[in-house]
Structures are given as structure tokens and as C-alpha cells.
């Protein structure tokens, strides 16, 4: 799956993933009003609004980008109807030719991690039938439990041609509390990065491994070190835009061939219509504002990479 992601990055010239992390506050009044008119101010109504909002954005940007990254928490907060909107969003994005990174940050042990992996990336058996319940192309995984937690995901990736991104150095301010602590002279995130490299060796897809890493745009110097430690890994880079990272901060995450990283922006794209810069689009054309924001982000990244 990682080689397909690389092909799509090259075809679009955009190492960009749009984070579909809808909050009700991002959704224009006309969409909320329609959804609530149909389902009431209920979890079903919220889920319908989220789905319609996503669909508008996907329809406006799908030709520009290789992938989307729905953050499952934003759906799970609305219970079962919300999770149904997540599943519908995943399927719709795939039908538009987008690769889908399920930002699920799951991680457990043994049969439990295997259950998450099967449900999100693989298949489950029920009697004589098999089903692919969520069927994302990639998922994010938490490494705190060690190999026991990660291995079942890798097995499912190998069987199903899917990929994962393991949290190595997260973009948030307090990520250093544990991740930066020094072990044998090196920070924990380097140790995790080294394990990502080892885990990934058994699951190659061309020059890259199906086992990638998450490293925040807010920590470019650490990104540079991790880029070297994990030469086979594609790095999923959150923290661009709203969280403070900019185009020039991204250079260390890329390999010299312009591949090896994909940069996420969520709020900066999906809530673009609420920013002063794109306010002229108005609520009705919120998806056009998202399209303009994707184009601006592509230019920011391309010019940074060209100058590097």
C-alpha cells in the first residue's frame, strides 16, 4: 500500500493528507440545519451533519491529494451513529480513489491488537463468510506495549497489503514528557524509531516499508534524526498549520527524492472557511475554501522542498 501512496504523491505533486477531524463548530449552518431537520438534534443528526460536511470537502479536493486521515475520536464521540459516519466516510473516500489513513492510535496486546488490526485493516471470519468491517488502507498505532502490540498489526498488513504509522514523536507540547527522556544516551523516541525500522524490515513494499512513523512537524530537528534512523519508513507528519509547523519545517522529514513523508493538515483545510484568509468564500462555499487551502499548502510545501 505504501508504494501506491508514493505513486499518488508523485501523480498529485502533493505529499498532503487532509485530516477529516470534523467538530460541529466547523460545520456551516446550512448543513447542520438540514441534518437536524431530518434527524433532530440527536447523535444521528450530528453524524449526518459530519458526513455531509465531509462529503462536500472530499468532492472539492479529492483530485488534488493522495490521501485523507479521518480521526476516529471525532466520530466515536457521537457513539454508534458517529462511528457509522466514520465507516461511510472511509468508504466514500476510497470510492473517490483516495487512500484512507484511519487515525485510530490503537494499541493493545496479542489477540486484542489482532482484533483491532482485523477490524480496521484486515478481515474477520463469521461462519463461512469474511468481512472487512472498516477497511482503511493505513492505521496509526501506539507503541507503548512493545512488539506484542505492534506485531499483530504487521501480520495483518502483510496479509492484506495494508500499512501502519507508529507514533514515534508526537506533535503536542507535552510529547517530551516521556518520549524525550534519555535512555542509554538517546531519547526514547529514537529507541522507538529504531524499533520501527526493525519491525518494518519484514514488511517491505518496494523501497519503502508498510511500517511508517508519526513524527510531529513541530519538532523538525528530531525529524532530521529520525529520518536517518528510519530510512525505509514513510513519515506521517502532523502539526502543520494550526499546530504551528510551516513549509520550511518540513524539509528534514523528506528524503532527497521528495518522497518519504506525507504532511497532514486538519483544521487548516476543513475549517479554512472560518479563517480570515478564506472568509470571502462564506459558509455556502466552505468546500471551495478547503480547496484553496489545499492548493496553498501544496505550494508552500513544494516551494520549501525546491529551495532545500
Contact set for a second copy, span 65-124 (CB under 8 A) = 71, 73-74, 76-80, 82-84, 87, 105-113, 115-116, 118-120, 124
Least distance from a second copy to the Cβ atom of residue 138, Å: 16
Return the DSSP state at 13.
Answer: T
Give the dihedral of Cα atoms 16, 30, 243, 264; nearest 10 deg: -20
User: Using CB under 8 A, which residues numbered 131 to 150 contact a second copy?
Assistant: 131, 133-134, 142-149
Out of 21, 137, 197, 249, name the contact with a second copy by CB under 8 A.
21
Closest to 232 (Cα-Cα) out of 249, 218, 213: 213
Least distance from a second copy to the Cβ atom of residue 74, Å: 5
By CB atoms closer than 10 A (0-12, 13-18, 19+), residue 306 is exposed
Query: What is the CA 225 to chain-centroid distance, rounded?
Result: 22
Give the binding range for a second copy (CB under 8 A) out of 18-26, 58-66, 221-229, 257-265.
Answer: 18-26
Residue with smaller CB distance to a second copy, 14 or 100 = 100
CA distance 205 to 195: 18
CA distance 87 to 36: 20
Give the pairing type, strands 138-141 and 99-106: parallel
Three-state DSSP class for residue 215: strand
Residue with smaller CB distance to a second copy, 108 or 288 = 108
Active site residue 105: yes
Three-state DSSP class for residue 104: strand
Three-state DSSP class for residue 168: strand
Give the binding range for a second copy (CB under 8 A) out of 10-18, 171-179, 225-233, 251-259.
Answer: 171-179
User: Using CB under 8 A, which residues numbered 37 to 56 contact a second copy?
Assistant: 41-43, 45-46
Tell me the β-bridge partners of 204. Answer: 209
Element (H, E) at 263: strand 261-265
Integer distance in angstroms from the first to the last C-alpha of the chain? 28
Least distance from a second copy to the Cβ atom of residue 241, Å: 14
Residue with smaller CB distance to a second copy, 127 or 221 = 127
By CB atoms closer than 10 A (0-12, 13-18, 19+), residue 134 is buried
Which is the catalytic residue, given 55, 96, 105, 151? Answer: 105
Return the DSSP state at 20.
Answer: E
Least distance from a second copy to the Cβ atom of residue 139, Å: 12
Give the binding range for a second copy (CB under 8 A) out of 174-182, 250-258, 269-277, 296-304.
Answer: 174-182
Residue with smaller CB distance to a second copy, 177 or 228 = 177
Least distance from a second copy to the Cβ atom of residue 22, Å: 10
Give the binding range for a second copy (CB under 8 A) out of 61-69, 168-176, 248-256, 294-302.
Answer: 168-176
Least distance from a second copy to the Cβ atom of residue 71, Å: 6
The pattern of x and - marking residues 224 through 243 that bind a second copy according to CB under 8 A reads --------------------
Out of 183, 221, 228, 276, name the contact with a second copy by CB under 8 A.
183
CA distance 299 to 284: 25
Residues marked as catalytic: 105
Amino acid at each position: 500500500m505504501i508504494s501506491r501512496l508514493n505513486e499518488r504523491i508523485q501523480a498529485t505533486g502533493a505529499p498532503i493528507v487532509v485530516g477529516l477531524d470534523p467538530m460541529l463548530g466547523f460545520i456551516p449552518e446550512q448543513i447542520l440545519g438540514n441534518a437536524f431537520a431530518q434527524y433532530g438534534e440527536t447523535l444521528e443528526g450530528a453524524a449526518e451533519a459530519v458526513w455531509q460536511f465531509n462529503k462536500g470537502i472530499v468532492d472539492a479536493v479529492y483530485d488534488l491529494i493522495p490521501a485523507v486521515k479521518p480521526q476516529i475520536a471525532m466520530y466515536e464521540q457521537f457513539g454508534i451513529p458517529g462511528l457509522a459516519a466514520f465507516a461511510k466516510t472511509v468508504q466514500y473516500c476510497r470510492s473517490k480513489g483516495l487512500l484512507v489513513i484511519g487515525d485510530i492510535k490503537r494499541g493493545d496486546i496479542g489477540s486484542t491488537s489482532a482484533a483491532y488490526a482485523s477490524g480496521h485493516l484486515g478481515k474477520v471470519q463469521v461462519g463461512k463468510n469474511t468481512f472487512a468491517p472498516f477497511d482503511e488502507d493505513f492505521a496509526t498505532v501506539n507503541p507503548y506495549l512493545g512488539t506484542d502490540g505492534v506485531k499483530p498489526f504487521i501480520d495483518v498488513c502483510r496479509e492484506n497489503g495494508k500499512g501502519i504509522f507508529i507514533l514515534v514523536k508526537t506533535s503536542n507540547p507535552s510529547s517530551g514528557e516521556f518520549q524525550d527522556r534519555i535512555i542509554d544516551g538517546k531519547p526514547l523516541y529514537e529507541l522507538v524509531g529504531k524499533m520501527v525500522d526493525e519491525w518494518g524490515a519484514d514488511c517491505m513494499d518496494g523501497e519503502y516499508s508498510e511500517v511508517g512513523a508519526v513524527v510531529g512537524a513541530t519538532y523538525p530537528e528530531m525529524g532530521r534524526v529520525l529520518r536517518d534512523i528510519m530510512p525505509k519508513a514513510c513519515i506521517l507528519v502532523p502539526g502543520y498549520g494550526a499546530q504551528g509547523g510551516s513549509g520550511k519545517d518540513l524539509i528534514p522529514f523528506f528524503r532527497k527524492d521528495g518522497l518519504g513523508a506525507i504532511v497532514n493538515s486538519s483544521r487548516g483545510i476543513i475549517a479554512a472557511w472560518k479563517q480570515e484568509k478564506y472568509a470571502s468564500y462564506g459558509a455556502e462555499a466552505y468546500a471551495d475554501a478547503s480547496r484553496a487551502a489545499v492548493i496553498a499548502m501544496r505550494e508552500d510545501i513544494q516551494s520549501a522542498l525546491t529551495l532545500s
